[in-house]
Amino acid sequence: LHAFDGPVWYDCSAEEGIKTPVFSFSDVFMNPPVVTKNSGQALHKTIHYNGTSTLPTISADFHQYYKVFETWWTFVHIKNIDQCSQHPVLCPIHQGQTVNLTSSHAPLSPFTPYGWYRSRQIYRDEFTGDALGCVDMHFEYREK
């Protein structure tokens, strides 16, 4: 058994100090669930917006990790990535709205080491910078 038998994601809003998240997540999954040498991957997630006003633009901070010796190490941290251009269905988002997002990823570089990877995504109101919610996902990359 692997260390991550069970859910491949969780809501990390509390860990990020988001006291009242207005984004909640469901139906988060990866296809295929394990990335192999030439597979690529599609990430699916459903976002539920529980805020009180329409948000015209949304950005996200992406914090990417690789696991070495049972410790997660950051290998990239990019802030304020415009989500509206990548997911037009997300913007604007209205009170009570639910949207389904899919991100497609090409196969990883042949130089990418096998192992466990994690992506923490903090969604923000692009105008105010206020955090809306956080989702943390992980997957395994192996040869076969």
User: In this predicted model, what pLDDT tens digit does every residue of 43-81 receive, in sequence order?
Assistant: 999 999 999 999 999 999 999 999 999 999 999 999 999
**What average pLDDT does range 38-42 have in this prediction?**
92
Q: What is the pLDDT of residue 4?
A: 54
What is the pLDDT at residue 6?
A: 62
Cα–Cα distance between 43 and 138 in angstroms, integer?
A: 11
For the chain, what is the mean pLDDT?
Answer: 94
- Report the percentage of the chain scoring pLDDT > 70: 96
Please report the pLDDT score of residue 144 as a whole number. 87
Residue 33, token pair as written in the block: 């669930």
pLDDT of residue 2: 45
At residue 95, does pLDDT exceed 90? yes
Give the global pTM: 0.92
7 has pLDDT over 80: no
Per-residue pLDDT at 43: 95
Query: What would the mean pLDDT of 7-24 be, rounded to a whole number?
Result: 96
